[in-house]
């Protein structure tokens, strides 16, 4: 199996947010899609290790903010490469508004948001798949949606030519200098597994 085939799927990139007991949190996901029009239903899959996942499981409420091509690597680092268990990602973060379901959505470098209520959840092992009904949705800008391919080619820092030997994370660019790459290695930046690294 060629794992690179999966990178050819036309993913977008999203900030998934939740609100529980006065606390806000959000993380980056790529698995969001609309599946029915009447009612407007979306699927959202998120890794169980994300605090946002736990919060959605208990509150059944979420927002999805659609990242545009204006998004920079900082927003991916802010929401994607640190945990809501360690930091309050919305402490001092001004570019957010509260949707009518009480959950924040991100207004900076996003082009739309959807607020939704979870109707069913499916345990996928590492992830939970939430089926949701949209409560509200708005277009924020006319900027193009950032695809995963666009992120790889234009947002993620491009690898520098260097003498470093080892393995590079295909998701965030982190370099592991060493040989071999441990099979249970987890990227310290983006938390993706050893299978997402390539030899340099």
* Long-range pairs, 59-62, Cβ under 8 A, ≥24: 59/18, 59/19, 59/20, 60/117, 60/118, 61/18, 61/19, 61/101, 61/102, 61/103, 61/115, 61/116, 61/117, 61/118, 62/16, 62/17, 62/18, 62/103, 62/115, 62/116, 62/118, 62/130, 62/132
93 belongs to the binding site for Fe ion (CB under 5 A)? no
Helices (H), the chain: 51-59, 73-80, 148-150
Q: Is 189 in the site for Fe ion (CB under 5 A)?
A: yes
Please tell me whether residue 190 binds Fe ion under the rule CB under 5 A. yes
Per CB under 5 A, the list member of 171, 176, 185, 197 interacting with Fe ion is 171
Residue 174 engages Fe ion in binding (rule: CB under 5 A): yes
Question: CB of 186: closest distance to Fe ion in angstroms?
Answer: 9
Instruction: State which of residues 11, 67, 172, 185 lies at the interface with Fe ion (CB under 5 A).
Output: 172
Query: Any contact of residue 99 with Fe ion (CB under 5 A)?
Result: no
Minimum separation from the CB atom of position 195 to Fe ion (A): 12
Least distance (Å) between residue 158 CB and Fe ion = 14
Q: Site residues (CB under 5 A) for Fe ion?
A: 169, 171-172, 174, 187, 189-190, 192
């Amino acid at each position: 199996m060629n794992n690179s085939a999966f990178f050819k799927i036309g993913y977008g990139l999203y900030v998934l947010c939740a609100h529980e007991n006065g606390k806000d949190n959000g993380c980056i996901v790529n698995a969001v899609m609309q599946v029915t029009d009447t009612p407007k239903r979306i699927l959202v899959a998120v890794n169980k290790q994300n605090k946002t996942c736990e919060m959605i499981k208990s509150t059944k409420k979420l927002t999805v903010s659609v990242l545009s091509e204006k998004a920079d690597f900082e927003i991916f680092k802010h929401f994607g490469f640190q945990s809501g268990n360690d930091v309050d990602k919305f402490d001092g973060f001004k570019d957010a508004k509260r949707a009518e379901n009480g959950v924040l959505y991100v207004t900076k470098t996003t082009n739309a948001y959807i607020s939704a209520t979870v109707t069913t959840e499916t345990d996928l092992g590492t992830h939970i798949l939430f089926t949701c009904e949209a409560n509200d949705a708005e277009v924020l800008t006319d900027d193009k949606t950032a695809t995963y391919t666009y992120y790889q080619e234009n947002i993620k820092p491009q690898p520098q030519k260097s003498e470093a030997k080892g393995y590079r994370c295909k998701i965030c660019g982190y370099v592991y200098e060493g040989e071999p790459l441990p099979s249970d290695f987890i990227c310290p930046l983006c938390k993706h597994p050893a299978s997402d690294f390539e030899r340099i």
